[in-house]
Amino acid sequence: YGPVCRFANPVDLNGAAGWLMVNDPDDIEHICAINVKNYTNRYLPDIYKWVTNEQGILGSQGTYNRKHRRLCQPTFRRPALLEDFAHVISVRAGRLVRLYEQQPEGVEVDMALQMQRLTLDIIGEVAFSYDFQQVTQIEKCSPSSPAYAHSTHVSSV
């Protein structure tokens, strides 16, 4: 779609005219770090606001959000820690990439679910030093895995 994608809002959801999705790393840095004060509001689905009670960094806006971002930011300014985070992300995502490369052509993939699982594994390892094994579950269910091949053979007998 390119570095910036615009999505229309044909049903007037939450009164927004539409949304922009920014994909370029330099633009994301500009919006989220360099010039963050110019970008104070973002779209949060009502269900997300309800679930988080509009609290926390991801579920809030305005003064509450600024206060909590300031508390968390020093951690994310340590280069060694960021390199560790990047390594975890690279290793976990690399497992999925290899899995996709092994799958037969035409296999349908639920990307939303798989990205949720990947994210949970990354957060688990980075924040809690815990492996939720969600990518492992994806691998076990893959058409290219021996377990999958065995299960389809047994079910067809």
Domain closes at, from 76, 106, 122? 76
Tell me if 123 sits within 8 A of 84, measured CB to CB.
no
Provide φ and ψ at 45, rounded to 5°: -55, 145
Euclidean distance between CA atoms 35 and 50, whole angstroms: 28
Are 97 and 72 found together in one domain?
A: no
Counted domains in the chain? 2
Domain closes at, from 29, 47, 76? 76
Euclidean distance between CA atoms 60 and 3, whole angstroms: 26
Summarised one tens digit per residue, pLDDT across range 11-52 is 776 677 777 888 999 998 998 889 988 877 766 666 667 777
Are 91 and 148 found together in one domain?
A: yes
Q: Is the pTM of this model over 0.75?
A: no
Domain closes at, from 76, 91, 126? 76
Euclidean distance between CA atoms 29 and 24, whole angstroms: 9
User: Between the CA atoms of 15, 39, 76 and 4, what dihedral angle is there, to the nearest 10 degrees?
Assistant: 80
| Structural domain containing residue 131 | 78-156
Euclidean distance between CA atoms 58 and 35, whole angstroms: 18
Summarised one tens digit per residue, pLDDT across range 80-138 is 998 999 999 999 999 999 999 998 888 888 998 999 999 999 999 998 999 999 999 99
Among 7-11, 39-43, 58-62, 74-78, the range of highest mean pLDDT: 74-78
Euclidean distance between CA atoms 72 and 54, whole angstroms: 17
pLDDT category of residue 145 using cuts at 50, 70 and 90: low
